[in-house]
Structure 1
């Protein structure tokens, strides 16, 4: 497996002013666990970064998993966005592809990235790995992290890695998790948004890695 923690490269992402950004992902993008869900990280990052964000998050979905009600995996949901224009597509998640082997998930991520490029010519792509407010990741999250890291290295794509950067550590669940559903709480999503913003500013060359 590839190194799961490729370094953020300052200046490796260029965007126009007030870019149009699509965030495509799972329940974390949806904001599940936040009250209301619009307090989720994907809704919080637009204003400080100056982005016009379209949020497409559906719980239980992934690069392979179409969700509990067949809402569609990431690849299957892209056609409904035809005709839209985005400067950046953020692909978040992967932890719901729990039964996928490394090669199978690797192929699904490849096909998703290829389709994004075909549907939105010229758009930039940023990969955002899985996270957990409890700190210690399970095996599906680690597999997804490694697959995404491999694509980042092979295709020279920016990769924001919550697990590798330890956005949450053991014991953080008491502070950052919604006890009802195990997803981030408002405080947890606020932390994800802040760490994501910090990494994006490094990628844009606005700040240096800390």
Structure 2
């Protein structure tokens, strides 16, 4: 089987480069999707990962892909098998993120319309994706899988691999991850707290996102 194409590699790398902070969003009301996206866009966020953890996820992805096709890259997270991958693509997801890897998922991602950011926690998992041509990975769960020190260690044998760590990252630690040369973006739930989303506190979410981006501006703007 042929490996991942250069086009697929460039497309997922472009998603990460458009970060550098990617909110990981679980929605319980489809009606919250548009005002939440507007608040994050106002703050300067251009990439959203909507996790397939709730029934509202796919309708929200479809809504945002139709209403804000040029303004934001909307992707699907927590994709665990090809069937969910196909559903995400049908809904209009621009990219797909998995919490881990399986051979079927990696194989499907090779020719999928939406590029895959496969999740890994170990070097062995990374090597399975690397063998197929993947060069961008989600590092998950970052905080309990070695965090910054693990990513620094990965850079030795895999200098051409880039990461988006998620899992246990907060506003005060995001900048430390972004300071690493092999980290293009970070993802986290801290940008969209469930309490603020349920209350419709879009102004508060926008402030939080602006603060997060401003605090990491030095790392985000590095060449």
Question: TM over 0.5, yes or no?
Answer: no
* Greater helix share, structure number: 2
TM-score by length of 2: 0.36
TM-score by length of 1: 0.37
Tell which has more relative contact order, 1 or 2 (C-alpha 8 A, sep 6+). 1
